Amino acid sequence: MRKDILIISNYFPPESGAASNRIYTLATSLTENNYEVTVVCPLPNYPFGKIFDTHKGKRYSKTIENNLIVYRLWLFASNSKNKFVRLFSMLSFAIHLFFFLLFKKTPKKVLIQCSPLFVGFFGVLISKIKRKKIILNVSDLWPLAGLEMGLLNKGRYYSILEKIELFNYRNSDLLIGQSQEILDHFKKCVPSKESFLYRNYPNFDIKPIQENTDTKTLKIVYAGLLGIAQGVLNLCKELNLPDNVELHIYGNGPETNQLIEYIKNKKNIIYHGSVERAVLHQELRTYDLTLIPLINRIYGSVPSKIFEYARLGLPILYFSDGEGNEIVKKHQLGLTINSLDYNALNNVITDLAERKITLPKKGGILKIAESEFNLAKQFKHFIIEIEKC
C-alpha cells in the first residue's frame, strides 16, 4: 500500500544548488520507497532572483515530474541585498503557501524544509491547524545564522524571529537536522523532542576514476554559489597563485559580475559560468583539487559539497572551520585551513604546486564516500523515523 507525504520547500529543480538537490533527492528516494509524494514550492527563481523564462507570466502550475506531483506557486522573486525586499520576497511565497494549503486537500504527513524561517512558520502553522503530522527538516539555524552573517542584530525583531523558531520546533512531531551542531541546538531549545541526523548525501552513481597524470599544472576548482558567505571574490583578491597553478570557477550569484570584472586580467583564474549538474560532474573529475571556502562560517552549516566531491573522488581543500572542517579531517578527504588565514592558504597552494604536500588518492576518497556517506543506508533509518510519526 502506497503512503502519501507532502513536501514544502522554498527550493526545487530546475533551480540549482544544494538545497534544491537535497529536496529533490529526498523526494525521489521517498517515491522509490512506496510513497506518493506531493511537492509545493515557488515558481523557479533561484539563484537569479527572477522567474525562469519557462515559467514567466504564470501564477501557479501543476506538473508530474518523475512520479512527483509538483505545485509551483507565485512569489515576488528577488535577490536584492536590501533586507526588506528579501523579506517581502519570502513572505510573498509563505503567505501564498498558507492559503494554498488552507483550501487544498493534502496528505496527513507533511515534511517542511526550513529555512527560510517564514516558510517554515506558515507551513507549520497551517499544518498544525489542519492536524497534520509535521516533520521539520532544518538546514540552517535562523535567526542565529542571520546574526552570525551580520544580516540581523539583536533586538525586538530578532526576539520575534527566535519565538517563531521555537514555535516551529515545539509544534513539529520530528526534527531533522543536516549537522550534529543543528541537533545540539534542538536539544537546547526543545530537549524532549525527537531528532534525527540526515546528512546531505548525494544520489548519483560512483564511476571508476583515473588519477591525474599531469604533474606540470595544479588545477584547483571552485563550484557553487558566488555570494557573500562563500567570499570567492575576496578570496581571488587574496590569492597569490604560482604560475603552474590554475583556479577554475563555476557558478553564479550576487558577486558574479564583480568577479568577472576582477579576473579579466588574471590569466590563471578562469570563470566558466553555470553548467548543468551532470556536465559539471564530468568536468570536476578532471581537476586535481576542489576548494571549499566558507568565509562567514555559520553554526550548524556543513557544505554538502564535501559529500558530493567525495563521491566524485575529488580531494578537498577546506577553507573554514567548524563541523565541515572536522569531517574532512576525520575521513582524510584532503587538507583543512582555518577561515580567513589567507597566508596559510597561499602557503599550502605553493607547497602543493611544488609537490611538497601530497593529496589523498582519488580512488581512496571514492571508497570512503561509498562506505561513510551512503545515502541508501541513511535513508533506511530515515524511513523508520518518519513512519513512527
Whole-prediction pTM value? 0.85
* Total domain count, the chain: 2
**pLDDT score of 389:** 81
Does residue 381 sit in the same domain as residue 363?
A: no
Does residue 304 sit in the same domain as residue 320?
A: yes
**pLDDT score of 230:** 86
Q: Is residue 207 part of a domain?
A: no
Q: How far is CA 221 from the centre of its chain?
A: 18
**pLDDT score of 88:** 86
**Which grid coordinates are listed for 354?**
611544488
**pLDDT score of 71:** 97
Report the distance separating Cα 187 and Cα 89, nearest Å.
31
The larger pLDDT score, comparing residue 64 to residue 19, is at 64
Q: Please, is 260 exposed, middle or buried when counting C-beta atoms within 10 Å of its C-beta (0-12, 13-18, 19+)?
A: middle
Q: Is residue 103 part of a domain?
A: yes
What phi and psi, each to the nearest 5 degrees, are found at residue 66?
A: 50, 45
Does residue 153 sit in the same domain as residue 78?
A: yes
Q: Is residue 232 part of a domain?
A: yes
Does residue 192 sit in the same domain as residue 249?
A: no
Query: Taking 70 as the threshold, does the pLDDT of residue 210 lie above it?
Result: no
Q: Is residue 363 part of a domain?
A: yes
Does residue 253 sit in the same domain as residue 181?
A: no
Read off the pLDDT band of 294 (50, 70, 90).
confident
**pLDDT score of 254:** 86
**Closest residue by Cα to residue 114 from 187, 181, 162, 168:** 168
Over residues 37-43, the mean pLDDT reads 96
Does residue 62 sit in the same domain as residue 143?
A: yes
The larger pLDDT score, comparing residue 245 to residue 56, is at 245
Does residue 185 sit in the same domain as residue 329?
A: no
- How many other CB atoms are found less than 10 A from the CB of residue 254? 17
**pLDDT score of 89:** 86
Read off the pLDDT band of 1 (50, 70, 90).
low
Query: Taking 90 as the threshold, does the pLDDT of residue 292 lie above it?
Result: yes
Does residue 134 sit in the same domain as residue 257?
A: no
Query: Taking 80 as the threshold, does the pLDDT of residue 80 lie above it?
Result: no
**Which grid coordinates are listed for 360?**
589523498
Does residue 60 sit in the same domain as residue 81?
A: yes
The domain that holds 338 is classified in CATH as: 3.40.50.2000
- How many other CB atoms are found less than 10 A from the CB of residue 358? 9
Q: Is residue 233 part of a domain?
A: yes
Q: 79-93, 113-127, 225-239: which has the minimum mean pLDDT? A: 79-93
Read off the pLDDT band of 146 (50, 70, 90).
confident
**pLDDT score of 231:** 87
Query: Taking 70 as the threshold, does the pLDDT of residue 115 lie above it?
Result: yes
Does residue 110 sit in the same domain as residue 122?
A: yes
Read off the pLDDT band of 152 (50, 70, 90).
confident
Range of the domain at 361: 218-371
Does residue 49 sit in the same domain as residue 88?
A: yes
**pLDDT score of 214:** 62
Q: Is residue 48 part of a domain?
A: yes
Q: Is residue 212 part of a domain?
A: no
Listing DSSP states for 164-196 in one string gives HHHHHHHT-SEEEESSHHHHHHHHHH-TTS-EE
Does residue 317 sit in the same domain as residue 379?
A: no
DSSP-assigned beta bridge partners for residue 38: 6, 69
Report the distance separating Cα 64 and Cα 295, nearest Å.
39
**pLDDT score of 128:** 96
Q: Is residue 209 part of a domain?
A: no
Q: 77-91, 107-121, 331-345: which has the minimum mean pLDDT? A: 77-91
Model confidence pLDDT, tens digit, residues 17-31: 778 888 998 999 999
CA dist list (Å): 219 to 108, 158, 249, 262, 384 = 50, 43, 11, 20, 43
- pLDDT above 90 covers what percent of the chain? 70
- How many other CB atoms are found less than 10 A from the CB of residue 377? 12
